[in-house]
Amino acid sequence: MSIGLLIFVFILAIFLGVELITKVPSQLHTPLMSGTNAISGITIVGALTAAGTGADTVASIVGTIALILATINVVGGYLVTNRMLAMFKRKDAEQK
């Protein structure tokens, strides 16, 4: 993959991110933050490769720690966000 293309994708994604997030009601700021925080755990994909292909012991150890941390970030992040969002209720929903 060419370097230019990667940078191109990065810049487009930044603009997309800005467009997606404008006008979020403040009550959702915390779940939004912890939800996007879970997404930043995508580095788990890099950590998988790092843990699975380490050239030597040091590399494997570093990679495995990265994988543990990224997994905590992903699993913890999604669960905690889900827990928070489950608490947000509307009047009509409660009456059902």
Phi-psi region of 23 (alpha: psi -120 to 50; beta: other; left: phi over 0): left
Q: How far is the CB of 61 from other proteins (least distance, A)?
A: 9
> Phi, psi at residue 60, to the nearest 5°?
-65, -40
The 8-class DSSP code of residue 2 comes to: -
CB of 91 to other proteins, least distance (A): 5
- CA 28/CA 81 separation, integer angstroms: 10
Restricted to residues 6-65, the positions that interact with other proteins (CB under 8 A) are 6, 9-11, 13-18, 20-56, 58-60, 62-65
CB of 81 to other proteins, least distance (A): 5
Site string for other proteins, 66-85 (x = CB under 8 A): xxxxxxxxxxxxxxxxxxxx
Does the footprint of other proteins cover residue 96 (CB under 8 A)?
no
